Structure formats: structure tokens, C-alpha cells
Structure 1
């Protein structure tokens, strides 16, 4: 493999694995926030206690995924300097600002609010404590927004001028409102909610399939997860289709390859626009596979969750074990679809790193093939180990149920709440 292939493989593998953490984190946190809110403001003591245990259980699974995901996220941005110094040299003046803001939000604001939420059980007033988990959710999506602003510039650069061989930011508002970032943010948000909803519904259904005694807790989370997944999966398909007209304007070769027509015409158009070169996509097969995976899985999840919402009315998902096992088996589907979406977005930009301005080959750092091979193998091994650790912990604690949850140990009473309440 060439140095460019190794650098691309390293970044693709590490980013893809990191994305598995991100999509679940973004999907789970608003669901946990809804659980916490309903628990804190439910007047019936018995129902409030059940929803409290529900929040603690799902909150712990969220925290495990967040904590291990942070370890993978820390090293992501270092790769721009290690393997892609040409990108930093050309687009650092534009690209660096959203990346820095994402780091500040994810590793400072979000982590601070999350820490206060974890240690605030039984110690903070009810309203303050509920507000904290919603702030965690808000900062999680704000972090995602800044990442997509940075990525949107790579997909469809706007708000800049090239001077002395480097891009300089000239219109910050244009950068923030880049349609390539905003539509992608809506798509990612709905994909994350679909993933979180299917995860919550699937784990809850697993406990019913195994004959749980925690019927009240898991019935509530099954209903919430199924409804969230049903609504989000319906709209994620619609928002995904909204990106096609934008791609026809900004990345015509991607659409030509998908339509399997007009490739030669687009090639001639791009040669006239950007100069001589081969602008056909080297990974066209991956493009089609990823699109097919998104489409098939998206429609499958949307159909099954729609039927599941109807079955909730008769409690069939609780009483019919084959249906419960089907919901459990759906858990991996949104993860596969979301990775397919990431592949579709990135592969379809080739051969550009910054579309129309900087090619992948020109952005590569002057690093030897041997060093890149060692780096690639090491990074992938570490990331795979972290992913396996994360899912081993999630599966183990999800199977144990709420009795194994230690999140939110009781603290001293405050003015408006007793010791054992939120």
C-alpha cells in the first residue's frame, strides 16, 4: 500500500470506530434527559421511583459509552498534523476554528455539565439537576454541529479566499450556515435518535424476552425507545433525500456514479473547471454499497418500529417473545447504516480533501511508508480494543439490569427534595 492509502486507511478506520461511540452518545442523552424530567416531575411516588431507577440504569450505559468514546475522540484531531499536514497548511485558518470550538464544548462544557449531573444526585435542587442533563444534551449536539461545520467546509468550501496558497476565512456567517453542514446536522441528529431509540427499545425487549420482573421499568423504556425510533427513522429518510439536490450542485460526480449515467459528461465538466485530471471516484463500489445499506436499513427500521408502535397498544411486544427478540436483533442495524452514511459522505468527495481546492495526494504529510504502516496498525489495534471494551461493558451491564446500577448514590437532603429523591 502507498503512503496515501495507509494514511487514508488509518483515518477511515479510527474515525469509523469513533463514530460508533458518537452516534450512540448523541442518541441516548436526550432519551435519558426525557426520563429524568418525567421522573423529577411525576407526582405519583411509585411511578417517580420507577422512572428514577430507569434514568439511573440508562444513564449509566450512556456514561460508559461517553467515557470510552472520549478516549477515542482525543486522538482524532492529532491525525491532521501527523498524516495530513497539507490540510493544516492550506485550510488551518478556516478549518481550525470550528475544530477548536468543538474541543472546548466536548471536552470542557459537556464534560463539566455531565460531571455535575453525575455527582448532583440527591444534592442539587430538582430543577437544577434536570437542567444539567439537558445542558449535556445541548452541548453534545453543539459539538456535533461544529464538527459538521468543519467537515462541511471540506465537502463544500464557502466563506474563504485563497491567498499565498492558503485559505483565509472571509465570511464566518457563510461558514456557519453552510448547507452542507446544516442538512447533514439534521440528518445526523435524526440518525442518532434512531440509534438511541432502537438501542433502548432493543435492550428493554431483551429483558422481556428473558422474563424480567422489572416490568414497569422496562415497559416505560420500551415505549419511549420505540416511539423515538419510529418518529426519527421516518424523518431521517426524508432529510437524507433533501441532500441529493445539494450534491447535484456541489459534488456532481457522486450523483453521476450513483445514477450510473453521465459520468463522462461530468468528467469533462470537472476537467474544464479544475484542469486536467481523473475525477472519477476510485471507490465507486463502496459508494453504492454504503447507499444501499443506508436505504435498506433505514426503510426496514422505519417499517418495523411503525408496526411496533401499533403492537405496543396491545402489549404484544411484552407478551410475545419472538417479537421481543426481533426488537433486540435490530440493535446493530442503525450503527451499520450510520457508518454507511459516513462512507458515502467521505468517499464521494474523492479525489479532493477540500473539494475543488486541495487534493488528497497534496495534503499528505512527508512521512515514510514504514512509519505510517506502524502508526496505522497501532491506532487501529487500540481503537478496536476500546470498542470491544465498550461493548463488553455495555452488554454486561445491560443484561444485569437496574439492580447493578450504582449511578447516583444517595446524598444529603436539600431544600426541595428528600434524600432518596431526585
Structure 2
């Protein structure tokens, strides 16, 4: 393996993309719940729900920061390792990615900053509007990424000029079924990720009887509703993609170069490995999805009996359930990507032609660096999320600071008793 730069480049991208998606899925899954909770809190003037916004928003903030870092690193390795893709399809494939960068790193980050530092400094409706922009741009950003990925699977809306693809039909690019169906699948799948992270955190605190604000009681009920409703559209969007892309596109009338013919023959020789990866991804996805589909009715049946608040035998296993949507997502991604090999852009650019010419030594160094970087990001993020989730609403990064706490200069001599929170909601 260490003597094959192409295999190392593919494996490197698989690891970095899968790790980055872990952050993206939680961002997309948490944002709607936080936005809805803040809307209700703003309309009702509900302090307990605003405390919930601060708690879940703190987890969102940690995850988002690591998502940005991993996204930057992933784009760097995409530019370094896949120069052939950019040389031929830079005007088409890269265009949605450029828009995604502008959306995520400028608009979304700016309004998230306003939301973070705007507590007690702006009106409650303006503060709510900031997070509404954050939520919207998060989904727009995901949309542009899937437009780019959909182009690889079903290239449309371009023409070749001197060996370089030029975009001629942006509408066809944005309405590509490979993008629209994937977007629906990813969005609904991300809602499951967010719901089960909320369920796991809520179950941990409910087991310990720590729910003075009602945050976790409401959280586990939200997760129950999502688990009863969302798996159906997840399966629907996935089923449509099975019908559209579960077989290689027709090849009649296409002429291949000698390099492409060699890549196709090589893929046929390695078909057992590709098929094994393809089937494994499909099996993992379907198994995890089935378990989630069964979990919703169980929680719903326990709801009227009070089991969601006090049955330890039901709550304890929920702490581990976030693994299910993550496994399903990564398994589905493996199935989707291996299913189009040996092509990077189906019937136009093979993976062998897309990769940057690298010596085995350079490929090993690149693989080692990026793998270690992403492993570190994943471990740090997991540790921070677990740490703040276990601390509860009074210990998160956005927790409401009260006068009289140790970091408050006014109380440094111990002469002042803690008073009410500063926040005016």
C-alpha cells in the first residue's frame, strides 16, 4: 500500500472527508433545534428555554469550530493531491466549492460571531435573527458541497474546450438529481445525528436526576419525535438514489483513451475489493438505519408511561446511540463513492488521471500528516463535547455568567453574595 501513491491519496481523502462529515452532520442536526428553542424562548420570554439555547449552543460552537478547521485542512489536501481534477474541471467542479467557502467562512462565521458575542448587547429579535442566518447558511453551504459532489457522479451542464470543462448551464448543475437527492438524504440523516446527540446528553442527565430547567426532558421528547418521523424520508431519499445510481451509467457511444481503458481494466481486476467495500458500506448503513427505525416506536411507547424521564434501563443505552447515525452516514458515503470507481468524474476523468503525480515517499508523508491532524481534531472535539455535555447548562462555553462568581472582580474579596443573572431575557 505504501508504494502506491494513488491508493494512499484515495485513502487519505476517505479518512479526511469522513471525519469532516462527522462535524458537519452535528452542525446541521443541532442548528434547527437551537433555532426553534430560541424562537419559543423569545416569543414567550422563557428563561429556562433560553438557558437551553445557551447549553446546546455551546456544544454547537465547539463542533462548528472544529468543523471549520477540518474543512480548511481538507480543502488543502484536495488541492494538493488532486491537481488533475482541478486542471480539467476547475471551472465546473470548483465553482460550487468556491461558493460554499464564501457562504461558510464569511456569512455563516460572521453571524455566528454576532450571535456568540451579542448576548445582552442586542435586542432579542436581532439576536434570534443572527442564528436564523447561521442555520440557513449552514444548509446552503451543505447544498453547494453536494452540488459539487453530485457533478462527479453525474456530470452535467458543461462543455469541453481544449480539454478543459467550461460551465454552460448552471441551472442543470444545481438541479442535478445526484445533488438534490443527496441533499435530502444528508439533511434528514443529519437531523437524526442531532436528535440522538440530544437524546444521549439528555439521558445522561436524567439518569442523574439533573434537570432543574427541564432542558433534558424536552430534549429527549424532541429526539423521540424525530426518530419516529425522520427515518422515513431518510429511507425515501436513499431509495431514489439506489434506483438512479446503483448501476454504472451506460457507456454506449463513448470513446475512451488508452489511460482510461487501462484504469477500467485495473478496476475490473480489483473488482472484488471494490465490491467488498461497496457491500460493507451498504450493510453498515442499512443495519444502523434499521436500529434507529426501531428505536423511535420504543421511545414513543415509553413516553406516556413516564419512561423517558426515569427508566434507567431505557435511558442508559441511549448514551451510545449517536454512533448509529454516524455509522449509517459514513457507510452510505463509502457506498456512494466506491460505486463510481474507477472514475473521479464519471466517463470523463479517471481517478488515476485526477491524482497529483507523487513519489511514494511524498505520498506517505502527506498521508501521515493529514491522518494525524484529523485524528487529533476528532479526539479533541469528542473530548470537549463530552466534557461540556456532562457539565450541564451551568458549565458550557456559553453558560450564563452570574455576578459574584470567582472570575468576577466585584466578588474577588468574597464580600459580595451571588446575585441574579445579568441576562435580560
**Fold equivalence (TM over 0.5):** yes
List, as ranges, runs of 4+ consecutive aligned residues in structure 1 with deviation greater than 6 Å.
none
Residue of structure 1 equivalent to 2:375: 384
Q: Structure 2 vs 1, CA of residues 113 and 161 (structure 1 numbering), >3 Å: closer, same or farther?
A: same
Task: Please name the residue that 2:389 is paired with.
Answer: 398
CA separation of 1:410 and 1:124: change in aligned 2, threshold 3 A? farther
The CA deviation string for residues 238-279 of structure 1, in whole angstroms up to 9 with x for no partner, is: 21111122115xxx24xxxxxxxxxxxx9xx64874544435
1:403 is paired with a residue whose SS is coil
Paired residues, number:
395
Q: What is the Cα deviation at residue 187 of structure 1?
A: 0.3
Secondary structure of the 1:23 match is helix
| Among candidates 414, 418, 423, match of residue 420 of structure 1 | 423
- Structure 2 equivalent of residue 198 of structure 1: 196
2:114 is aligned, of 113, 116, 130, to: 116
Change (3 A) 1:213 1:101: closer
1:408 is displaced (CA, Å) by: 6.2
- Residue-by-residue CA offset, 1:120-172 (whole Å, 9 max, x unaligned): 11221121111111111110010000001111110100001112111111111
Q: Is the 8 A contact 2:26 2:193 kept in 1?
A: yes
For residue 160 of structure 2, give the secondary structure of its aligned residue in structure 1: strand
> In structure 1, how many angstroms separate the alpha carbons of the residues matched to 2:78 and 2:91?
14
Residue 89 (structure 1) aligns with? 87
CA contact (8 A) 1:91 1:166 kept: yes
| Conservation of the 8 A alpha-carbon contact between 2:202 and 2:216 | yes
Matches of 1:213 and 1:143, distance apart in 2: 35
Structure 2: stretches of 5+ with no match in the other structure? 403-420
Pair 409,217 (structure 1): closer, same or farther in 2 beyond 3 Å: closer
- Measured on the aligned residues, the alpha-carbon RMSD in Å equals 1.9
Query: C-alpha deviations, 1:36-60, integer Å up to 9, x for none?
Result: 11111125xxxx1211111111100
The answer to whether the aligner puts 1:357 opposite 2:348 as a matched pair is yes
> Does the 8 Å CA contact 1:121/1:408 hold for their aligned counterparts?
no
Any gaps of 5 or more consecutive residues in structure 1?
254-265, 412-417
> For 1:243-392, what aligned pairs fall within 5 Å after superposition?
243-248=241-246, 252-253=247-248, 270=251, 273-275=254-256, 276=261, 277-278=264-265, 280=268, 281=271, 282-392=273-383
Task: Quote the Cα distance in structure 2 between the aligned partners of 1:328 and 1:11.
Answer: 30
1:328 Cα deviation from its structure 2 partner: 1.6
Report the alpha carbon displacement of residue 225 of structure 1 after superposing the two structures with TM. Answer: 2.4
Between 1 and 2, higher relative CO (CA 8 Å, sep ≥ 6) is seen in 1
TM-score, normalised with respect to structure 1: 0.89
Question: Contact conserved, 1:196 with 1:229, CA < 8 A, in 2?
Answer: no
In structure 2, the CA distance between the partners of 1:124 and 1:162, relative to structure 1 (3 Å rule), is same
Q: 1:117 to 1:229 in 2, by over 3 A?
A: farther
Alignment of 1:37-116 (within 5 A): 37-42=39-44, 48-116=46-114
Structure 1 residues 168-221: Cα deviation after superposition (integer angstroms, max 9, x where no partner) = 111111011111000100000000001001110111011112332436221011
Paired with 1:50 and 1:157, the residues of 2 have a C-alpha distance of 50
Partners of 1:408 and 1:391 in 2: CA distance: 19
State the alpha-carbon separation in 1 of the partners of residues 37 and 389 from structure 2. Answer: 17
CA-to-partner distance for each residue in 1:282-309, whole Å, 9 max, x for gaps? 4111111111111111121122123212
CA distance change for structure 1 residues 186 and 26 in 2, over 3 Å: closer, same or farther?
A: same
Which of 133, 136, 147 lines up with 2:134 in the alignment? 136
**Aligned pair partner of 1:127 in 120, 125, 137:** 125
Could you tell me the TM-score, scaled by structure 2's length?
Answer: 0.89
Separation in 1, partners of 2:83, 2:223:
43
18-27 vs 210-219, which deviates more?
210-219
Q: 1:54 to 1:77 in 2, by over 3 A?
A: same
1:23 aligns with 2:14: no
Asked whether 1:35 is paired with 2:26, we answer no
Residue by residue, what CA displacement relative to the aligned partner does 1:28-83 show, whole Å, maximum 9, x if unpaired?
A: 1111111111111125xxxx121111111110011001111111101222223211
Q: Structure 1 residue 419: deviation in Å?
A: 5.3
C-alpha deviation, 1:410, in angstroms: 6.7
In 2, Cα distance between equivalents of 1:327 and 1:29: 21
Partners in 1 of 2:106 and 2:375 — Cα distance?
A: 26
Q: Secondary structure of 1:124's partner?
A: coil
Q: Is the 8 A contact 2:96 2:147 kept in 1?
A: yes
- Cα contact 2:278–2:338 (8 A) shared by 1: yes
Distance 1:229 1:111 in 2: 30
